[in-house]
Chain A
């Protein structure tokens, strides 16, 4: 069975994000890029599916940052069997549409049985990658999935709803699944292995003729959200803060 995981790098939100001078997107020179955390879950789920049955996992992304290789080596260290990237000159801030078009034309040639991707990403302004891939490749899609089991030509998936409710679907393969969480927390990617793979592994570069990369949206501006209200910030050290919290709770009869 051929499993393909489509991934993308996104700006790290651990640090404060800076906007560019025009105010139309982030200042991509000032951000660190990390693997989208839902894609990390998708990679884990793919490796789990492989381990539960058989097959091979290929992880593929568009290198818009010049730093995708490290992510791909990490995927190999976690158990992916092959990695690939869409070749071309790309800039950070590629839209989901662009990613979906580039990736779908590369993935379709791989004739996958199962395509996994993160259910969402923090930069999904123009929609999520998974449903777009499904639409472009004419494959069924189920997202917000936290468990995938494959038996024969059918995948049984659990989709999460609000309130802890879940639905079970069976999906005929090939299909695209948007992963919310893998059935186990993602495994550790040993840096020892990542560094070794950086020396020994090959990353397949895939050319595509895709040039329709517009999302159909015009971004007028990006701003920090205007907050309707703001918390009353308690000053002082931890003791002072704790004291104030206790006072507030007392006032409201909560303790």
Chain B
């Protein structure tokens, strides 16, 4: 177990290093002079040269990369051009709001998704099952920001039952969380359904049935525990798109989180903040996946992570 833990931890650090390097490559090596990008096309050559020197862009690329890695290790991403103050500090300030939104989205997706999945699996090929499968296909195929706009239009503008923008009360989180969770909801529904159908004829479930217990007891808690194992795995993987989705969804709902800050900063060419935000989100994603992998053994005793070679 300890060996696995160390290997897995080393792997996570490696992946994080790779992500940090990708950000460096994108921001420095991709065509276009960052100094020119920041100052805009009308800047005088002298200004550009001064900023290049200030940013260390006149040094060899490897030296720049070395400085960059040191800065990242110290969580120093420079100051925000627009807001002033430390770029990472600005992101961290808004991280709780994003975490709240992402958590609400995951809770919504998992609870409703399991419910729909159980309902669909209880009578395979019934009308209900088909309606649910069409529903999941449609929500997987709609652009999330568009779904958000439609929900806004219906619940905030027409029915006026929920607030449309900002984060003033607990009701504000409802619409953005539902929007952000829709894709994940579809995934959880599909996985729960196929998981339940796959194990529905396992002998331990027949034992439960033979004891005369109702089908409800067969599902909760007996079948669901094993059917949910794949769901737990995808929670970790899917969190990536949930976190990436916050950039778009927070913009739609004017949610004061890190995602919206990243989107706004792009518009203002505030690349230090963008860089800090992207790296932080990648780090959160890597850590969550590490935790999911480690927790896997606890949920499914058949999996012995210590001996498992990934």
A binds B: no
